Amino acid sequence: MRPTTRAYEIEPKVRQIMRIFSQEILSTNGFEPAQFEGLFKVGFSDYAEQIFAPQLFDQLQSLAPNAKVLFKPVDTSNCVELLEAREVDLCIGVFSELPNKLRSTSLYRERHLCTFDNTVLNCNLPISLEDYLDTPQMIITANQALTSQVDKTLAQMEIKRNVVLGTTRFLTIRRMLTGRRVLAVMAEMVGRSTLIEDSLTLCEPPIDIPDFDVEMVSLRGDSQHPRILWLSELVKEVVTEKVTRLRGEK
């Protein structure tokens, strides 16, 4: 008995189905990354992708050389939808008001720092409130507004700053700080990461700006799946190593 032409046509799909069945359904021995030939799908906020995606990709290539990797942009507005549609395995970033169906793990506590080119500003460190208010500022804005929680804090002090630029892109601000008399209050990891070649100064802001958590989020029902569990542990290792190293280099 010889295989038909149709049998040859569907052979690749049958093999793929059998691979998924054996790896995802029948396997009871945990996840074996070296044998995995599927797709890792990780959702990143813009900030988190810039900082952590390169190292995560390198580790996945090393530990799961037969796998493919997909990074997708996520935020609070689409995180739940993408997870429920299985378009991402997990999400990394800053999220708010997540439903109970999601499991959230804090990866680290982030803080805000003033970032600027002190060869231009030439101010004493840490920057004084007077110099801070006297310097034009750039901010990250997700809603097209040129204000943030910082401005509410300043308003309570009956003072205000001069915001001259708003953008959704952290890297845009990082590039524009060099050679200009401007400053930005940015997440510490954005300022410390070697995203581009520059010599910016980072220091504590002269006002209290609350810290925030960078989190890893997954569907609670999927969080114990061997592949998701392995990927989650790898993400924690990659993020912890990167944060520890960058803070140690300051």
Same fold, 5-110+213-248 and 112-210: yes
**If we measure between CA atoms, which residue out of 60, 80, 62 comes closest to residue 71?**
60
- 112-210 belongs to CATH 3.40.190.10: yes
203 contact partners, CB below 8 Å, separation of at least 6: 113, 114, 125, 126, 127
What are the E-state strand segments in 2-87?
39-44, 68-73
The C-alpha atoms of residue 12 and residue 151 are separated, in whole angstroms, by 59
Burial bucket for residue 82 (CB in 10 Å: 0-12, 13-18, 19+): middle
Residue 198, φ and ψ in degrees, nearest 5: -155, 175
Burial 213-242 (b: 16+ CB within 10 A, else e): ebbbbbbeebeebebbebbbebbeebbeeb
Helix (H) / strand (E) containing 104? strand 102-110
pLDDT tens digits in sequence order for the chain, 250 residues long: 556 777 667 877 766 676 665 555 545 468 999 999 999 999 999 889 999 999 999 999 999 999 999 999 999 889 999 999 999 999 999 998 889 999 999 999 999 999 999 999 999 999 999 999 999 999 998 777 898 889 999 999 999 999 999 998 888 999 999 999 999 999 999 999 988 888 999 999 999 999 999 999 999 999 899 999 999 999 999 999 999 999 997 6
The DSSP-derived string for 191-211 is HHS-SSS---EEE--SS----
Per-residue pLDDT of 133-186, as tens digits, reads: 999 999 998 777 898 889 999 999 999 999 999 998 888 999 999 999 999 999
Domain map of the chain by residue range?
5-110+213-248, 112-210
- 5-110+213-248 belongs to CATH 3.40.190.10: yes
Length of the chain equals 250
Report helix, strand or coil for 31. Answer: coil
Whether 236 and 106 have beta carbons less than 8 Å apart is answered as no
Report helix, strand or coil for 41. Answer: strand
